[in-house]
Amino acid sequence: MKFFFDFERPELAELLQPAFRAAQIYKSVYQHWSSDFESMTDLPKALRTSLAAEWNIQPLSIHRRFDSSDGTRRYLVRLADGEMAETVFIPEEHRNTICISSQIGCALACTFCLTGQLGLVRNLTAGEIVAQVLIAQRDNLVWEARDSFNIVLMGMGEPLHNYDNVMKGLRILHDEHGMNMSMSRITLSTAGLLPAIERLATESTIPNLAISLTGASNEKRNELMPVNRKYPIEQLLAAVRRFPIKHRQRVTFEYVLLRGVTDSPEDALHLVKLLQGIRAKVNLIPLNEAEELGYRRPSPAAVERFQQILIDHHISAFVRKNRGNDISAACGQLKKKWADEPIAAAL
């Protein structure tokens, strides 16, 4: 069986003549949420039968769902080979966020991130990336609100390390005959894979860019994010300065505040200096602590002091709310640990 969500519409059109069939099926699956061919009554009966024998149009199944007291939901999505992708739905009053994974595990080994401790297990396919969005959308949004969400590629993995599948997934989500998701509602977050950022800048469809900085000097960043040893901070920021940013858009910088490591006023001033001349928005993320990590979260006063220094220097700075902490769904907490999680917490 072919997994429908792995296919871009032009690929589908090549396999299924006449070409308009691909648009019809895309519309049924992505706009009408059809999950069987029988209901696609705009297709000839014989075609429906032959398609059903060849194509799997069931988005993947939910292995477990964890519900946070703040409304955040974390999903373990079962993949064909038994691996699990982690997906998070974060409800907000005016805008919901679906946070998807691009890989199982991650190769980058940032020292403050639990996913980094797994190493890379494997890349997700385009279809596995797309299906995570559909699962979170369909499980949380009523029909009238079906489009009221943004997507962030901030789950497990480094999206630019799985470049081709991620970009293919985004093109599928963006297709006008399918979900028709605007690129301005998608944010891709990277730890700073420089050549891939440069390649991204040349694409015809470009999502919003977020850079995980966490460390405002090479010395700090080399220690916290080994990727910096290969692509130093000044080169990274030079690439960001060249990146095409649409009118009124900004590049987001995520900065994890680690007590005594990245949270001093001096660090804040370094950050101010680094971001000069960039249309930037800074998301400060007080560390989500975990036993396995050798770092502490700063005091609220230190977080506020850091934020104030940025604001005083005319940089928009927000403190990221800590969502889904009680279900291990918060930033940096996604880690393959379903095996030992109590069944009672599940659906």
Does 72 engage in binding with ligand SAH (CB under 6 A)? no
Please classify residue 153 by burial: count the beta carbons closer than 10 Å to its beta carbon, then call 0-12 exposed, 13-18 middle and 19+ buried. buried
Q: Which listed residue (8, 223, 331, 341) is catalytic?
A: 331
Measuring CA to CA, which residue among 318, 251, 256, 254 is closest to residue 278?
A: 251
User: What residues numbered 183-202 form the site for ligand SAH, per CB under 6 A?
Assistant: 189-191
331 is catalytic: yes
Q: What secondary structure does DSSP assign to 199-267, as a single string?
A: HHTT-SS--EEEEE---SSHHHHHHH-THHHHS-HHHHHHHHHHS---TT--EEEEEEE-TTTT-SHHH
Cβ nearer to ligand SAH, comparing 59 with 116: 116
Residue whose beta carbon is closest to ligand SAH: 332
Binding-site size, ligand SAH (CB under 6 A): 16
Q: Which of 28/102 has CB closer to ligand SAH?
A: 102
User: Per CB under 6 A, which of residues 278..337 are in contact with ligand SAH?
Assistant: 285, 287-288, 331-332
By CB under 6 A, tell whether 86 contacts ligand SAH.
no
Report the C-alpha gap between 232 and 221 in whole angstroms: 8
Q: Determine which residue in the list 175, 254, 263, 267 makes contact with ligand SAH, applying CB under 6 A.
A: 254
CB of 127 to ligand SAH, least distance (A): 20
CB atoms within 10 A of CB 191: 26
Beta bridge partners of 76: 64, 86
Q: Does residue number 181 form part of the binding site for ligand SAH (CB under 6 A)?
A: no
Q: Does 267 bind ligand SAH (CB under 6 A)?
A: no
Q: How far is the CB of 48 from ligand SAH (least distance, A)?
A: 40
Told to judge if 113 belongs to the known catalytic residues of this protein, a careful annotator would answer: no
Q: Under a CB-based contact definition with an 8 Å cutoff, are residues 200 and 209 in contact?
A: yes
Least Å distance, CB 309 to ligand SAH, is 20
- Count Cβ atoms within 10 A of the Cβ of residue 341 and give its class: 0-12 exposed, 13-18 middle, 19 or more buried: middle
Considering the candidates 11, 14, 86, 292, report the single residue annotated as catalytic. Answer: 86
**Least Cβ distance, residue 136 to ligand SAH (angstroms):** 16
Query: Is there binding between residue 7 and ligand SAH (CB under 6 A)?
Result: no
The residue count for the chain = 347
Residue 298: closest CA among 322, 323, 317, 281:
322
135 contacts ligand SAH (rule: CB under 6 A)? no
Alpha carbon distance 127, 170 (integer Å):
10
- Contact set with ligand SAH (CB under 6 A): 112-113, 154, 158, 189-191, 212, 214, 254, 256, 285, 287-288, 331-332
Active site residues: 86, 331
